[in-house]
Amino acid sequence: MCIFCKIIKGEIPNHTLYEDDQVIAFLDISQVTKGHTLVVPKTHYDNFLTCDDETLAHLMKVTKKLANRIVDKTQAKGVNILSNTGEHAGQTVMHFHVHIIPRYDENDACIIQFNQSETQDLQTLASNIKIK
Ligand code: 5GP
Ligand code: ZN
């Protein structure tokens, strides 16, 4: 059983901020910034891409509500909402979760950087990916 399933079953202690029949949210054990929180479906899905649509929709509503509350209570100036999906994207716990990372200033401990890479043929790329 994965570590988040153990938390959901109550086998590992956590600091719960919200819970209902589908979702639990608790403080991340390593606080990247103060208030760093994980929102987790109670059913085990490996990641965002495989999560059931209804559960995902509900989880995102909870994420919005909680992110507003966290920003309010921590006086954060911004917030990153993200889900690492797959090992190559930095996912370390293979149970779908959304991170809420409050941001205080550009020098806080959360570094998300978009670097310029090779130029792409946007026309070809778009026609390949576009959902018609
Ligand atoms: P990922 O790297 O998969 O996007 O994020 C996994 C997150 O889970 C990490 O930020 C890590 O600190 C957190 N985490 C791992 N084990 C535990 C735990 O036992 N309790 C809590 N509260 N967080 C955990
Ligand atoms: Zn799990």
Q: What atom of ligand 1 comes closest to residue 84's alpha carbon?
A: 4
Query: Which residues have a Cβ under 8 Å from the Cβ of 120 and sit 6 or more positions away?
Result: none
Inter-CA distances, 74 with 48, 69, 77, 78, 101, Å: 27, 8, 9, 10, 11
Q: Quick check: is 95 catalytic?
A: no
pTM beyond 0.85, yes or no: yes
> Which tens digit of pLDDT belongs to each residue from 90-120?
999 999 999 999 999 989 999 999 999 999 9
Which residue minimizes the CA distance to atom 17 of ligand 1?
A: 29
- Selecting among 36, 95, 97, 99, the annotated active-site residue is 97
Find the mean pLDDT for residues 61-89.
98
- Look at residue 11 in the predicted model and tell me its pLDDT: 98
- Average pLDDT of the chain, as a whole number: 97
Q: Which two tokens mark 27? A: 């403080």
Ordered strands of the 78-82 beta sheet: 16-19, 23-27, 37-41, 98-103, 78-82
